[in-house]
Structure 1
Amino acid sequence: MKKKIWIQVIHITVILVLAAITFAYAMFQGGFVSWFLFYSFMPFAVYSLMVCVYPLHHLHVERELTKQTYQAGDDFVATIIIKRKGHFPLLYLIIQDDLPAHLETHYGQNASKIMIFPFFRKEIQIQYSLLHLPRGEHSFDYVRLKTGDFLGIVEKETYYENKVNYLVYPKMIKVRVSDLFTDYEQGELSSHSFLRQEGGFVSGIREYQAGDRFSWIDWKSSAKRNTLISKEFEQKKTSHLTVVLDGLTPYGLEPRITLTASILSAYVKAGGDIQFISLGKNVFVQPLQNPEYHLRQALYHLAFIQGEKQGQFSEMLAREWGKWQLKTNILLIVSEMNEQLMFMMEAMVRQQCHLFIMMVKENERTLSPKEQALVKRLKSKRVQIKVTTESEFLDAIAGVNSQ
């Protein structure tokens, strides 16, 4: 506060000194030019003095948003509203929303800075946007205002506290789990996929109805009756699934999290019995027994994962696996394959676990020769493996959503 007062005193002193110099010059020099210079300078000097004493810190500043909850990739649109009591003419006003350091690095220092010329306006509104908001927690603390005079002598700056935290959840896209994970191996449909959500055992037959799947048609009965006959299935709840996410490896982290969030949401909506385990900086285990609440907890955890590499996922999986004692359907979501991870998966298969692996690669990365050999060996052990890139995954989702 004392520093601001001293700066203001210096500004006023400089203006008064310049006014005194021009007045002295006009008095001693005389003539039209010298007095014209003095009278021309005086309006600027008076305005500068008024800017010095203008209460820039007494304005009303607020931030309004188009929505309160965000997913990764959404656009952040904020409106800054400034209200003032008088009509004092402001030559210019620089408005900047104080961004957290990681967003400032991501978007640049001037992403939320706008310069306007308000003059006599009592209410001022500006709007800025941040495109494709990254996942995580973002804290906004202050709105900065800055103005000045014509001569550039006086500059006033103040900060308005407007603290608020915005949590950006992982991107979630509507998917049908059974369609997304249906895979073909060696020309035949993998019949032991535990991710299928259609019915259980065949309980009877009936005439074909619109919407029935092609795979449900009973061809023998259709040939006998000379009309399409569909199989009827016993209704049963989707089998239990445990989703295990590699939250350690920085490479491919974002598409892994998008895929995980989409699967958890889809499986919960389908009424499936699901458990989520994340192995990262912290171990997170969440059975989704209360669908809405527990899914929200899982998404909250996914929002904060940063992929801080503090070890190998395979080592952490080997260390934690014995604590779970799971003999169920396991979906591992990873981006890399190594020998230690392969040995761990083989051990899980020997313990009667039905294992499915999603390897999510970045768009320009493919399996290395070593990874190809490891994947081939796992497939020979009847481990279902699907390798996809981020773009292929999003295209598959887009195809499902368009149906």
Structure 2
Amino acid sequence: MKKVRTFLKDSGRVLSVVALIIFTFCFAMFQGGFVSWFIFFTVIPFLIYSVLLSLVPLRFSQIEREVLPTHLKRGDDLLITVRFRNKTFFPLIFMTVREISHFEKQSEHGKLFFVGIKREFEWTYVIEDLQRGEYQFKGLEFIVTDFFGWTIRQKQVRAPQVFLVYPKTTDLAFSSMHMQYDQGAALSKYSIVKDTTMATGVRDYQPGDRFSWIHWKSFAKNSTLRTKEFEDRQSQQIFVCLQQNSSKLFEEAVDLTASIMKIIVKNRVDVSFATAGENRLNMPFVRTESQLEKVMQHLAVVEANGENTAATLLRGDQKELSRSVLVIVTGELTKDCKEVLMDSAKYTRAVICFVVVTKEQLKTIDAPQRTIGQSRVVYLTEDMFSQAFTEVNKP
């Protein structure tokens, strides 16, 4: 239907120009005299050009779009340079070129050119204060007109391009978070893991040593029970999850999540990641840069339209949680989230909940609110993100 309306509209313009040619010719014939014929011969070049413009095919090619910077974060300004080539054999007068995209202010991303016989074109524009998400350019729309706007031609050329705007990350000062032992109340920065692949010595047997650790060769020599000694390997496992069940300060919560994942992977700490939204993601291991990039791409498009991620994890069969520090990031400490923090000790070693708040909200938070059950709650404003791990380890 839209194509039919466009065809009728363009046909009406052509018929109007043809009618104007006939009218001026008839006026000159019946009126006669120098003035009448002068008007006819003055107007006729413009009318003929308009008719020809409505008939010639428009051709544009070699469309290129340069986007700078190549890695974009929330709040950045985007500099775009568009280049294309005019391959229309007919000389054009005025041409307006616009981007076809889903930007809200799409009409601003265009430029008017005086063409003539010029073939190569380029223009640059800026999109300020980009928000996190996926941005799509579909192509260019060319609008060509004659001198007086009697004929208007439109042509769209596909030139798709997609780019992501990632969360805004902050450089965090990393330090190991305190962890709770399986059933005890003492806190330790690390979980101590025995590396049983290599014995470093032997010692006297002590009650509680495993049967498999007994050094049988030593026992055969002097009938004294001796136990193998192994190297203690300090390790920390972290499970990071982003709450998607609240839209309050969600952008800031995503930024904090991205910053935490970036610094943890940089320090080679074992980390897992999960969300529970419409486009949910669950990665048991995030160790390499490529795996981190997958997480960042997910965080670039994630929305506050999901479930309580922590509750979903605890309900599921998550073996990683039993030996990990569960890090929850949210923009609002909801009732459901508080219930998770109260019951989380049954499923995981320790829980750290980062809650993003405004400066006004931070002033109203009392010390008792910083602990729920055995879970630690850390309230952070956006300018405190760099101190996230330091706040965790405060007494």
- State if a TM-score over 0.5 links the two structures: yes
Provide the aligned C-alpha RMSD in A: 3.5
Q: Helix, strand or coil for the counterpart of 1:66?
A: strand
Give the counterpart of 1:126 among 106, 123, 127.
123
Following TM superposition, the consecutive aligned residue runs of length 4 or more in structure 1 with deviations greater than 6 angstroms are: 1-5, 394-397
Rounded Cα–Cα distance in structure 2 between residues aligned with 1:271 and 1:132: 33
Rounded Cα–Cα distance in structure 2 between residues aligned with 1:155 and 1:357: 60
Cα deviations across residues 221-269 of structure 1 (Å, max 9, x unaligned)? xxxxxxxxxxxxx997652111121122111111111111111111111
Rounded Cα–Cα distance in structure 2 between residues aligned with 1:357 and 1:395: 14
Q: How far did residue 360 of structure 1 move?
A: 0.6
- Go from structure 1 to structure 2 and tell me whether the alpha carbon gap of 1:193 and 1:78 turns closer, same or farther (over 3 Å shift): farther
Rounded Cα–Cα distance in structure 2 between residues aligned with 1:193 and 1:82: 62
Report the AA paired with residue 262 of structure 1. Answer: S
1:366 aligns with 2:358: no
Report the AA paired with residue 393 of structure 1. Answer: F
Say which is worse superposed, 69-78 or 237-246, in terms of deviation: 69-78
| Contact 2:57–2:88 (Cα < 8 Å) also in 1 | no
Q: Percent identity?
A: 24
Partner of 1:246: 243
Rounded Cα–Cα distance in structure 1 between residues aligned with 2:82 and 2:279: 38
- Go from structure 1 to structure 2 and tell me whether the alpha carbon gap of 1:239 and 1:253 turns closer, same or farther (over 3 Å shift): same
Give the counterpart of 2:328 among 323, 326, 332.
332
Q: Helix, strand or coil for the counterpart of 1:91?
A: strand
- Whichever of the two has the greater Rg, that structure is 2
| Contact 2:326–2:348 (Cα < 8 Å) also in 1 | no
Q: How far did residue 351 of structure 1 move?
A: 5.5
| Contact 1:15–1:45 (Cα < 8 Å) also in 2 | yes
Partner of 1:135: 132
| Contact 1:91–1:150 (Cα < 8 Å) also in 2 | yes
- Go from structure 1 to structure 2 and tell me whether the alpha carbon gap of 1:8 and 1:323 turns closer, same or farther (over 3 Å shift): same
| Contact 2:241–2:327 (Cα < 8 Å) also in 1 | yes
Partner of 2:40: 38
Identify unmatched segments of 5+ residues in structure 2: 179-185, 191-230, 390-395
1:151 aligns with 2:143: no
| Contact 2:241–2:310 (Cα < 8 Å) also in 1 | no
| Contact 2:64–2:84 (Cα < 8 Å) also in 1 | no
Rounded Cα–Cα distance in structure 2 between residues aligned with 1:305 and 1:82: 34
Partner of 2:200: none
Following superposition of structure 1 onto structure 2, how do residues 1-400 of structure 1 map, counting pairs within 5 Å?
9-56=11-58, 58-67=59-68, 68-85=70-87, 88-100=90-102, 103-104=103-104, 108-178=105-175, 194=189, 239-308=236-305, 316=312, 319-320=315-316, 325-349=321-345, 353-361=349-357, 363=358, 366=361, 372=365, 376-379=368-371, 383-393=375-385
| Contact 1:75–1:133 (Cα < 8 Å) also in 2 | yes
Q: How far did residue 3 of structure 1 move?
A: 7.0
Q: Helix, strand or coil for the counterpart of 2:327?
A: strand
Rounded Cα–Cα distance in structure 2 between residues aligned with 1:244 and 1:86: 55
Cα deviations across residues 270-306 of structure 1 (Å, max 9, x unaligned)? 1111111223335432133542232122222212211
- Go from structure 1 to structure 2 and tell me whether the alpha carbon gap of 1:388 and 1:155 turns closer, same or farther (over 3 Å shift): same
| Contact 1:65–1:79 (Cα < 8 Å) also in 2 | yes
Q: How far did residue 121 of structure 1 move?
A: 1.4
Cα deviations across residues 352-401 of structure 1 (Å, max 9, x unaligned)? 6222221112x4661697xx47x72552756433212224437989xxxx
Richer in strand (by share): 2
- Go from structure 1 to structure 2 and tell me whether the alpha carbon gap of 1:322 and 1:271 turns closer, same or farther (over 3 Å shift): closer
| Contact 2:78–2:126 (Cα < 8 Å) also in 1 | yes
Q: Helix, strand or coil for the counterpart of 2:168?
A: coil
| Contact 1:81–1:123 (Cα < 8 Å) also in 2 | yes
Q: How far did residue 148 of structure 1 move?
A: 0.9
- Go from structure 1 to structure 2 and tell me whether the alpha carbon gap of 1:237 and 1:159 turns closer, same or farther (over 3 Å shift): farther
Say which is worse superposed, 139-148 or 113-122, in terms of deviation: 113-122
| Contact 1:314–1:340 (Cα < 8 Å) also in 2 | no
Q: Helix, strand or coil for the counterpart of 1:296?
A: helix
Report the AA paired with residue 112 of structure 2. Answer: M
Q: Helix, strand or coil for the counterpart of 1:48?
A: helix
- Go from structure 1 to structure 2 and tell me whether the alpha carbon gap of 1:236 and 1:267 turns closer, same or farther (over 3 Å shift): farther
Q: How far did residue 143 of structure 1 move?
A: 1.0
Rounded Cα–Cα distance in structure 1 between residues aligned with 2:88 and 2:298: 48
Aligned residues: 340
